[in-house]
Structure 1
Amino acid sequence: MREYAIAAIILVFAATMLVSLFGLRVVRSTSDFYVASRRVSPRMNASALAGEYISAASFLGVAGLIVAEGTYGLWFPLGYTAGCLTMLLFMTGPLRRSGAYTVPDFVSLRFSSSRLRVATVIIVVLTGWMYIVPQLHGAALALTTTTGLPAWTGPAAVIVVVLATVLPGGMRSVTIAQAIQYWIKLCALLIPLIFILLQTNTLGGPGLPGWDASVWHDGTGTSPADFYRIVSLLLALMLGTIGLPHVLVRFYTNPDGDAARRTTFLLLGLLSGFYILPVALGVISRAVFAEGELSSPDTALLRLPSAVFDGAGGDLLTAVIAGGAFAAFLSTSSGLVVSVSGVLSQEFFGGSVLGFRIGAVLACALPLAMAVATAHMALAGAVAMVFTFAASSLTPLLLLGIWWSGVTAQGAIAGMVTGAAASLGSFALGRGLELGWGTDAVLLNYPALWCVPLAFAVAVLVSRYGGARPPRNTAHVLARLHLPEG
């Protein structure tokens, strides 16, 4: 298995780096680096956006969560897809019409506040760093599971390939790579699923031990705490998508607002088609593996083929899944590095191509150090934390900035800081209670249901009663955001 897996991972790396060389040929300007000169078609952009949106949590974590907690794992793909629908309804058109390169650029256009821009830069960079770390943890887990290599080699390899993709061609080369990586990920789950289904009673095969209706029975949702956890998770995933910087920057690459909406509509179809696969494989894995058999539920997909097939067949299918997993780590990490490096370049390096490249190196350095120094935690849970943080900090700023003329810079910064501090403080306290006393503090570990309303309420109250007034050009900016181009 080791040789096949290494070969599949190297093949994915080589394909990604070849695309980066092509990106170097087609890049002509600074605009190419930041937003691909705003000429990406809806079909290409939808594939690229699906490629970077399907992260380690989607590829490995959804199936792992189904193995560990049964039907609770189904809420993740539902929330991810619903988040894209929320973005289609409220964000895509206005955000593209803003003409901004980055989220801080949009904030400057809407609020004309240097203090708010600085705060937004900090939140965007922090969100990007927080989201890169789970991708690198996933790379370490996948590499050690399939090859036995040291854990640090996975994150290091991902960072090297990401920089090789981003540095030559910026957004232009990343767009092409992510579009290809979506289809790699789709095939990497579809092919094993077909062969595994042929082994089950579903298509007349010999069947799997433990395959019966009991695979769904887990008691999830039977208590008020379970209901709270599910609702809070869905709110985090639906609204957190709006605040993810690597998703937002993708809409700046469309030619106009209508193209941005078509991109999101196509994205919904691509995501819906993909998420059937990890859910189906997760259900099969729950039937195959006994409780406690896996050292980490996130390894379920990587171990499933060898549990179903003997010999080279299982090894080959495991290699296919490993290659797809690394495509997931690369595509999401590349999008995050582009968004963070764009912000760093605009703020500290004059917005030049050289500044973008320096920002890319800085965007990779801290997450790599954190991933190597920290222990792996459940991928879906780690990503849910990032979505909650984005939903509590950036989402109120963006939604109020686009849809309410009464929001002030003072209110926006108060809401953003309150949401960020509340979510981070809640996670830290909840984690401390778990480690110290073994207490599952559901209100602290799943705080979106109270953190997000708190951030919105603070922003609205400070805007109404804080003494500051909306910017004088508010009506003009809102007209630009909401009226059709031309």
Structure 2
Amino acid sequence: MTVVTPSNGATTVGESIRQALGDSLNNGAGAVLMAVVLVAATTLLVSSYGLRLSRSTGDFYVASRRVSPRMNASAVAGEYISAASFLGVAGLILVEGTYGLWFPVGYTAGFLTMLLFVAGPLRRSGAYTVPDFVTLRFGSPRLRVLTVLIVVLTGWLYIVPQLHGASLALSTTAGLGEWVGPVAVVLVVLAMVLPGGMRSVTLAQAIQYWIKLCALLIPLVFILLRLGTVEPTAAPDFSAVWTETSADGTDFYRTVSLVLALMLGTIGLPHVLVRFYTNPDGDAARRTTFLLLGLLSAFYVLPVTLGVIARAVFTGAEREAHAPDTALLRLPGALFDGAAGDLLTAVVAGGAFAAFLSTASGLVVSVSGVLSQEFFGGTVRGFRIGAVLAVALPLAIAMATSHVALAGAVAMVFTFTASAMAPLLLLGIWWAQVTARGAFAGMVTGAAASLVSLTAGLVLGEGSPGSVVLLYPAAWCVPLAFAAAVLVSRFGAGHPPAGTAVTLARLHLPER
């Protein structure tokens, strides 16, 4: 980015922005900026309608538990389809081949696990947040504090890839500085969350799902039409798309570990869990999840298909020249010349920005709700303070760190939540004999093992001896966490909380 320097030697932020915008418009990226501005304006306009309906604390935290299954399914899909789903899946298929297909499978299968084991009971608990559920089930202040730490840490870790994705998308397509994307996402998210909380976010996320769906469907239609009209000699060679995939002895372990992390990690994501508190009852929560499976299945067909096309179009050195996460952003320009390529690129960039906004806003709502409940008395004012705190640290981290492959970064967050949160929720809902000490031991064991393993893997680097086991530790971290919880519950000090039978009846029996 070129910076204008005044005669006195000082550089102003306003002049930097004006120069960046001017450069972008001059090099043909104005369409991308217009698409991003349109998505942001639509988001704020829709969320302002939710503001008219937000009048109570319940509106801010759980939308007064009156969100219908159809609306909630669209909203959950909107916030769940993050930067990793929108850009990262196609990038993984471009680089890894068939291995990249396991990501959408795991993402969708996670909600099948949610449907079968968590959605209904969690809604029937009547809690506002996951720590509230922990208090209801175990009555342990120490375990509640640990849960708060895990939920906040998960939210922070998950927000960072969204900001990195925004930085990558806007710098690649519009030539803006790497700081512009993260700052833009944070400002729009705060403008959406602070006035209306969950009520405003729900409406916006439901619309953003359909924006993201159209942002991939429209380019795919034009790309397929384009490929159908080119001469056979000039068409990409799809016959060699999968033959280049290499395999070794670690592929099976890596795949199993990844799918396990994605399946169990989904049920531990705070922004997904809080969504089920917004349904009127447990039956509605299950219907929400069932509809959600259809919406996610419909969406993931698109990035997978575009990823296959990108793998056929970008071959050899072209794959190495750019970050894999930019594959979808570069694909229209590789197949179309002039305005057509620019417009289709703008459509994809607008959808990507919607992905960053929807996931980040859901995470901010979940983290701010927990922070407000624990430290600010659960008030609306506390919710707003929590929202600012929820984005401050991730923004600082995103500005200070370099971009990591989106799908890989998100997979690490899923591994952490699968190891730390899945034992707590599944055992707490389905096993009467789990104790507060056992749940505490399972959370600490899973969180510590996964964090240490992932950190060691990143330090050693991919390709070093044992790096696959360290970078994909869910296959051993999750069983270790469950084993710690079960063993401490069975053989350690303490007993299941008094009233466990009554609590489990509340979780599993229909409200009526």
User: Which of the residues 407, 411, 426 maps onto 1:380?
Assistant: 407
Residue in 2 that maps onto 1:175: 202
**Superposition deviation, residue 205 in structure 1:** 4.1
Is 1:396 paired with 2:423? Answer: yes
Residue in 1 that maps onto 2:475: 449
Residue in 1 that maps onto 2:484: 458
Residue in 1 that maps onto 2:266: 241
For 2:257, give the aligned amino acid.
S
Residue in 1 that maps onto 2:241: 215
In structure 1, C-alpha distance between the alignment counterparts of 2:465 and 2:158, rounded to whole Å: 26
Residue in 1 that maps onto 2:382: 355
**Superposition deviation, residue 292 in structure 1:** 3.3
Is 1:292 paired with 2:288? Answer: no
Structure 1 runs of 4+ with >4 Å offset: 437-440
Residue in 1 that maps onto 2:20: none
User: Which of the residues 74, 82, 90 maps onto 2:117?
Assistant: 90
Question: Residues 200-224 of structure 1, C-alpha deviation per residue, up to 9 Å, x if partnerless?
Answer: 13xx44465432221112335x433
TM-score normalised to structure 1 length: 0.98
In structure 2, C-alpha distance between the alignment counterparts of 1:90 and 1:448, rounded to whole Å: 19
User: Which of the residues 347, 352, 360 maps onto 1:325?
Assistant: 352
**Superposition deviation, residue 20 in structure 1:** 2.3
SS at match of 1:174: helix
Residue in 2 that maps onto 1:481: 507
TM-score normalised to structure 2 length: 0.93
**Superposition deviation, residue 439 in structure 1:** 4.8
SS at match of 1:232: helix
Residue in 2 that maps onto 1:266: 291
Question: Residues 128-176 of structure 1, C-alpha deviation per residue, up to 9 Å, x if partnerless?
Answer: 0000000000000000000010001100000000000100110000000
Residue in 1 that maps onto 2:11: none
SS at match of 2:317: coil
Is 1:14 paired with 2:41? Answer: yes
Residue in 1 that maps onto 2:159: 132
The 8 Å contact of residues 19 and 165 in structure 1, kept in 2 or not, is answered as no
Is 1:255 paired with 2:280? Answer: yes
In structure 1, C-alpha distance between the alignment counterparts of 2:193 and 2:231, rounded to whole Å: 47
The 8 Å contact of residues 49 and 267 in structure 1, kept in 2 or not, is answered as yes
**Superposition deviation, residue 290 in structure 1:** 2.0
Q: How does 1:34-433 map to 2 (within 5 A)?
A: 34-201=61-228, 204-206=229-231, 209-220=235-246, 222-293=247-318, 294-433=321-460
In structure 2, C-alpha distance between the alignment counterparts of 1:295 and 1:309, rounded to whole Å: 19
In structure 2, C-alpha distance between the alignment counterparts of 1:291 and 1:340, rounded to whole Å: 43
For 2:473, give the aligned amino acid.
P
In structure 1, C-alpha distance between the alignment counterparts of 2:278 and 2:226, rounded to whole Å: 44
In structure 2, C-alpha distance between the alignment counterparts of 1:348 and 1:413, rounded to whole Å: 21
**Superposition deviation, residue 17 in structure 1:** 1.1
For 2:432, give the aligned amino acid.
S
In structure 1, C-alpha distance between the alignment counterparts of 2:423 and 2:355, rounded to whole Å: 29
In structure 2, C-alpha distance between the alignment counterparts of 1:440 and 1:302, rounded to whole Å: 34
Residue in 1 that maps onto 2:25: none
In structure 1, C-alpha distance between the alignment counterparts of 2:99 and 2:48, rounded to whole Å: 42
In structure 2, C-alpha distance between the alignment counterparts of 1:292 and 1:372, rounded to whole Å: 29
In structure 2, C-alpha distance between the alignment counterparts of 1:457 and 1:361, rounded to whole Å: 38
SS at match of 1:351: coil
Identity %: 75
**Superposition deviation, residue 345 in structure 1:** 0.2
**Superposition deviation, residue 440 in structure 1:** 6.2
Question: Residues 43-65 of structure 1, C-alpha deviation per residue, up to 9 Å, x if partnerless?
Answer: 00000000000000000000000
In structure 1, C-alpha distance between the alignment counterparts of 2:466 and 2:257, rounded to whole Å: 15
SS at match of 1:199: helix
SS at match of 2:245: coil
Question: Residues 276-335 of structure 1, C-alpha deviation per residue, up to 9 Å, x if partnerless?
Answer: 000000011011112332420100000000000000000000000000000000000000
In structure 2, C-alpha distance between the alignment counterparts of 1:295 and 1:361, rounded to whole Å: 34
Bigger mean CA deviation after superposition, 231-240 or 208-217: 208-217
**Superposition deviation, residue 24 in structure 1:** 1.7
**Superposition deviation, residue 21 in structure 1:** 1.7
**Superposition deviation, residue 197 in structure 1:** 0.1
In structure 1, C-alpha distance between the alignment counterparts of 2:384 and 2:126, rounded to whole Å: 22
Structure of larger gyration radius: 2
For 1:36, give the aligned amino acid.
A
The 8 Å contact of residues 130 and 270 in structure 2, kept in 1 or not, is answered as yes
In structure 2, C-alpha distance between the alignment counterparts of 1:337 and 1:218, rounded to whole Å: 41
In structure 2, C-alpha distance between the alignment counterparts of 1:252 and 1:124, rounded to whole Å: 16
The 8 Å contact of residues 227 and 235 in structure 2, kept in 1 or not, is answered as no
**Superposition deviation, residue 485 in structure 1:** 0.3
Structure 1 unaligned runs (5+)? none
In structure 2, C-alpha distance between the alignment counterparts of 1:19 and 1:212, rounded to whole Å: 42
The 8 Å contact of residues 71 and 218 in structure 1, kept in 2 or not, is answered as no
Question: Residues 83-135 of structure 1, C-alpha deviation per residue, up to 9 Å, x if partnerless?
Answer: 01010000000000000000000000000000000000000000000000000
In structure 1, C-alpha distance between the alignment counterparts of 2:434 and 2:377, rounded to whole Å: 29
SS at match of 1:224: coil
The 8 Å contact of residues 198 and 205 in structure 1, kept in 2 or not, is answered as no
**Superposition deviation, residue 432 in structure 1:** 1.2
Residue in 1 that maps onto 2:8: none
| Length, aligned pairs only | 482
Question: Residues 341-385 of structure 1, C-alpha deviation per residue, up to 9 Å, x if partnerless?
Answer: 000000000000000000000000000000000000100000000
SS at match of 1:235: helix
